[in-house]
Amino acid sequence: MTKKTRAVLSALLAEPDKELYGLEIYERTGLLPGTTYPILLRLQTAGLVCSRWEDVDPADPRRPRRRYYQLTDLGLGAAPAKLAEVTGLIGLLRRWLRWMPQPAAQVATSVTSTRN
């Protein structure tokens, strides 16, 4: 799962009971619309997100309709696990990268200096 997909899932998961329209999602994630909408489409195809078009407001018929997105029940169950998997994997990699075996010369020097 990409960082951008995680950002979209996190935005939707922040308020799971609320429907968000595209502008709200890309403002919360900092992603561009051309990135956000394909991610939402992929999440919808996977069954994690559902969407609906709003009804036209008779008071302002010139304003375009908004498409609202919300996590499905499947998405509510899967999103935290998917985010935790990635976070756990990243944490594991970071810990592994911090632990670097010392070169043999450094080990020998440190052992010699402790004996003196």
- pLDDT, tens digit, for every residue of 11-47? 998 899 999 999 999 999 999 999 999 999 999 999 9
User: How far, in Å, CA of 27 to CA of 24, rounded?
Assistant: 5
Position 113 pLDDT exceeds 60: no
Q: Rounded mean pLDDT of the chain?
A: 80
User: How far, in Å, CA of 99 to CA of 93, rounded?
Assistant: 10
pLDDT in tens, 60-94: 878 888 999 999 988 888 877 777 665 555 565 65
Nearest Cα neighbor of 36 from 47, 22, 48, 50 is: 22
| CA distances to 75, 78, 80, 82 from 88, in Å | 19, 15, 12, 10
pLDDT at 111: 46
User: How far, in Å, CA of 25 to CA of 37, rounded?
Assistant: 9
